[in-house]
């Protein structure tokens, strides 16, 4: 994979990370507050500007990631916060919002969720009807959100609400940070076919949000939502398949190799094709990172990557359960050791990839209009 063939300049960055780990996790023992230390060192989101990140180049990011993986360093898990809400706050949040929200987001002590989708507004998000009305120094929010991943564990949420019902759909929306402990919020879990309940219905009934939690300008929420969704497409379509939950194509190659390889020509072709796809996805990701470095926000290329990565993830998962044989039907026993116990669940989850963060069809519409300059979707 290209990540293991970084140019020689990467070594300086690697050494910095190794020195940090030797100091903060001597002998590979990670202290309970390691996530906080990593966040303070700017290594949780190295591409963010200082002091939150390191203004890191793509190469530095890849080198940091490589060493943290190699040493199995535990990293804060807060994908919606770090992946999507944070970048939007960096674009449009006030200094006070940065100081209040970014440290807890980066060290994982405050989990974030995203309150965008509604029962009547998914792909056509701009038709959302949750209302926010100004009342003195506060906003009062009433409406319903759905598919809110992690609402039940989140401390904060990014929320889109309509602030000008008379304006054209895209122009009357504002973007807020919602304290999930506010009064008037009811959260109901939604059970998924893999047995878990990661997302929820969220009812907002006269919830009060301080004016200081408006992000950017009033009625400018749609522009910021696009920043969030652009980052969502980048981060959901991360390097591994399945939003980081399942095996990667590389893992499958390694497992087949460890089990004596295969002479089955069809299986060999499938594995090779997935391996090649994964390599292409890494290269597209590096291109996106390089664009970021030049100060560009994620553009339509994020949709290209998401369209490819989601279907790649589904193919990887389908092959994984096939390799697992009868174990592919079991939720609690892995065919090839502990790392494979999640395969059955991952397979059941994999259809979600081409829905969440914008469906496969919607990505193709974006590519058609904004990359290929085809006529607009009717």
Residues that bind ligand FAD (CB under 6 A): 113-114, 116-117, 122-123, 147-149, 199, 352, 355-356, 358-359, 361-362, 365, 377
Asked whether the beta carbons of 45 and 89 are under 8 A apart, the reply is no
Nearer to ligand FAD, 147 or 336 (CB): 147
Catalytic pick among 9, 16, 138, 232: 232
Nearer to ligand FAD, 294 or 376 (CB): 376
How far apart, in Å, do the first and last CA atoms of the chain sit? 41
Task: Report the residue closest to ligand FAD, judged by CB.
Answer: 122
**232 counts as catalytic:** yes
C-alpha separations of 272 from 192, 233, 322 in Å = 32, 26, 16
Nearer to ligand FAD, 205 or 361 (CB): 361
Min separation Cβ 97 and ligand FAD, Å: 20
Beta bridge partners of 205: 142
Asked whether the beta carbons of 110 and 104 are under 8 A apart, the reply is yes
Min separation Cβ 290 and ligand FAD, Å: 28
Nearer to ligand FAD, 67 or 353 (CB): 353
Nearest to 35 by CA among 48, 45, 49: 45
Nearer to ligand FAD, 65 or 201 (CB): 201
Catalytic site residues? 232
């Amino acid at each position: 994979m290209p990540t293991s063939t970084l140019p020689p300049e990467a070594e300086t960055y690697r050494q910095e990370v190794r020195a940090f780990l030797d100091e903060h996790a001597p002998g590979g023992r990670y202290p309970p507050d390691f996530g906080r230390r990593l966040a303070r060192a700017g290594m949780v989101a190295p591409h963010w500007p200082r002091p939150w990140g390191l203004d890191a180049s793509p190469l530095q990011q890849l080198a940091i990631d490589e060493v943290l993986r190699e040493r199995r360093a535990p990293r804060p898990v807060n994908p919606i916060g770090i992946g999507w809400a944070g970048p939007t706050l960096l674009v449009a949040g006030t200094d006070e919002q940065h100081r209040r929200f970014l440290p807890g987001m980066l060290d994982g002590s405050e989990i974030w969720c995203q309150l965008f989708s509604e029962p009547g507004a998914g792909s056509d998000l701009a038709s959302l009807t949750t209302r926010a009305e100004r009342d003195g120094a506060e906003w009062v929010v009433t409406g319903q959100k759905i598919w809110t991943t992690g609402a039940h564990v989140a401390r904060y949420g990014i929320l889109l609400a309509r602030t000008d019902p008379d304006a054209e759909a895209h122009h009357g929306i504002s973007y807020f940070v919602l304290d999930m402990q506010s009064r008037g919020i009811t959260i109901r879990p939604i059970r998924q076919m893999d047995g878990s309940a990661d997302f929820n219905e969220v009812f907002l009934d006269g919830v009060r949000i301080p004016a200081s939690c408006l992000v950017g300008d009033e009625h400018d929420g749609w522009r910021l939502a696009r920043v969030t969704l652009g980052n969502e497409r980048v981060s959901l379509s991360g390097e591994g398949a399945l939003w980081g939950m399942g095996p990667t194509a590389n893992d499958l190659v390694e497992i087949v190799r460890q089990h004596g390889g295969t002479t089955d020509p069809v299986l060999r072709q499938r594995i090779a094709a997935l391996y090649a796809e994964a390599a292409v996805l890494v290269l597209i990701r590096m291109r996106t990172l390089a664009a970021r470095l030049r100060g560009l926000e994620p553009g339509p290329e994020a949709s290209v990557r998401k369209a490819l990565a989601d279907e790649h993830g589904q193919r990887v998962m389908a092959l994984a359960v096939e390799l697992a044989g009868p174990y592919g039907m079991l939720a609690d026993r892995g065919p090839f050791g502990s790392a494979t116990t999640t395969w059955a669940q991952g397979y059941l989850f994999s259809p979600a990839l081409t829905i969440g963060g914008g469906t496969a069809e919607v990505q193709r519409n974006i590519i058609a209009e904004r990359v290929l300059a085809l006529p607009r979707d009717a």
